Amino acid sequence: MDKLLTLTALRRVVQLTAFVFFVYGAMIFTTFYTGDKLTQNLPALSCAYDMKGGDFCALIPLQHQMDHRVSTLFTQNAGAMEALMGTLITVGTVAVLILILNKAFCGWLCPLGFFQETITMIGTKLGLTQLISLNRETINKVRPIKWFIFLFLVLIFPLLTGIGFLGHEWGNPYCSICPSRIMTTAMTGDMSQIYLSQANNGYLILSLLADLLFGLMIALALFVRQPFCRICPMLPLQTLFKKIGLLRLVKKGSSSCESCGNCVKACPMDIYEIQDSAENKNITHSDCTLCGRCIEFCPHDGVMNFKYGPLTLLSSSKEGFKKRTKIDKWWKG
């Protein structure tokens, strides 16, 4: 019974529930759900290509707005308010959602994040050798990739398409390669998103990248935790507003923290900065998904904490660490 009374167990239940809703929502909740999306600005990778889904992410309207609206500033001499209003609404909605749940949208609600964690659990049970943590050098090389994807595939390339510098295929290039598009639609029995386009070279390149990225993500997830999350462009978008989020990870280290490194080993995103000394400081890193594993595996009372505004929701403890370590050994055994 104790194995079910942990933060990770609660998170798995929330993730599974969110996965069902975001992938099958329009099909299941037909009594009050008529096919319109709950919101079009979710700060997590839920895909609009899934015709049975309950929501879709903010990256989709951002690309379309860059292509069709913001570009009119340069092509039609449109007024700033007319060209930017859609983008401001999207970004404003994301800011409100981040205020409420911060980066927990990634760690608790994202369908693609749950899918990767499931693949990793399968790899563990198959007895495959898991790469527990990537080294700092590798992490520092990987981190900028998500910013490159966000800036170029979500913002710049769609904008250049709208202006006329690039072909139509670059109007929503991130959606064209996003593994969530393939995973989400495949889960509903729609295999149409796994293809190689021959429309032109641009479409061919993007469709090839999509298939390769999806396959590589699955292969890596068997051995490495959260491989795609590390380069996901949703993280930069969330990072713009993470400081206003009511939910946050706070460290009260002082002399209590021995920099044992357990928090880093537990962190699926290998955030080495969380082991640094800090006293009553918000340490919600730009890569953090607020999964809470660092709290579960911290062996010191009150050092790592989940806070929501002024309220402390969960704190690390010696007893919690012993219990969580025992469960982890049971699972891997």
Query: Which pLDDT tens digit goes with each residue over 178-216?
Result: 999 999 999 999 999 998 888 899 899 999 999 999 999
* Judgement on whether residues 184 and 319 belong to the same structural domain of the protein: no
Domain for residue 121, yes or no?
Answer: yes
pLDDT at 125: 86
Please report, rounded to a whole number, the percentage of residues in the chain having pLDDT higher than 70: 93
Per-residue confidence band for 34, with pLDDT thresholds at 50, 70 and 90 = very low
Torsion of CA 225, 226, 230, 236, to 10 degrees: -140
List pLDDT tens digits, range 9-26: 899 999 999 999 899 887
Asked if 267 and 154 sit in the same domain, the reply is: no
- The per-residue pLDDT for 312 is 93
> Which residue has better confidence, 253 or 93?
93
Asked whether residue 43 falls in the same domain as residue 152, the answer is: yes
Whether residues 30 and 149 share a domain: the answer is: yes
Tell me if 75 is assigned to some domain: yes
Reported confidence tier of residue 38, pLDDT bands at 50, 70, 90: low
Dihedral of the alpha carbons of 274, 279, 281, 283, in degrees to the nearest 10: 0
* Position 241 in a domain: no
Q: Is residue 320 part of a domain?
A: yes
Query: The domain containing residue 320 runs over which residues?
Result: 246-332
Nearest-5° Cα angle at 282, 278 to 286: 110
Q: Which of 291, 119, 138 is nearest to 220 (CA)?
A: 119
Judge if 227 and 257 occupy the same domain. Answer: no
Q: Give percent above pLDDT 90 in the chain.
A: 60
- The per-residue pLDDT for 325 is 81
Question: How far apart are alpha carbons 241 and 255 in whole angstroms?
Answer: 31
Nearest by Cα to 12 from 94, 83, 95, 107: 107
Residue 141 has pLDDT above 90, yes or no: yes
C-alpha 333: how far from chain center: 29
DSSP-assigned letters across all residues of 164-227:
TSS-GGGSSHHHHH-HHHHHHHHHTT--TTS----SSHHHHHHHHHHHHHHHHHHHHHTTBSST
Whether residue 77 lies inside any domain: the answer is yes
pLDDT band at residue 31 using 50, 70 and 90 as cut-offs: very low
Tokens found for residue 136 = 């700092």
| Residues 321 and 203 grouped into a single domain | no
Indicate the pLDDT class of residue 33, thresholds 50, 70 and 90: very low
Please tell me the total number of residues recorded for the chain in this structure.
Answer: 333
For residues 230 and 269, the answer to whether their CB atoms sit within 8 Å is yes
User: Last residue of a domain, which of 236, 267, 299?
Assistant: 236
Q: Determine contact, residues 106/229, Cβ cutoff 8 Å.
A: yes
Domain identity same for 133 and 252: no
Total number of domains in the chain? 2
Are residues 256 and 218 both part of a single domain? no
Same structural domain, 208 and 265: no
In 3D space, the residue among 99, 38, 107 whose CA is nearest the CA of residue 294 turns out to be 107
Same domain for 70 and 217, yes or no, is yes
- Whether the per-residue pLDDT at 308 is higher than 90: the answer is yes
pLDDT for the residue 128: 79
- Band the pLDDT of 332: cuts 50, 70, 90: low
Final residue before a domain boundary, out of 182, 210, 236:
236
Q: Are residues 25 and 147 both part of a single domain?
A: yes
Of 296, 294, 293, which Cα lies nearest the Cα of 276? 294
Statement to judge: residues 261 and 197 lie in one domain? no
pLDDT of 259 above 90: no
The tokens for 108 are 């608790």
Mean pLDDT value across the chain: 88
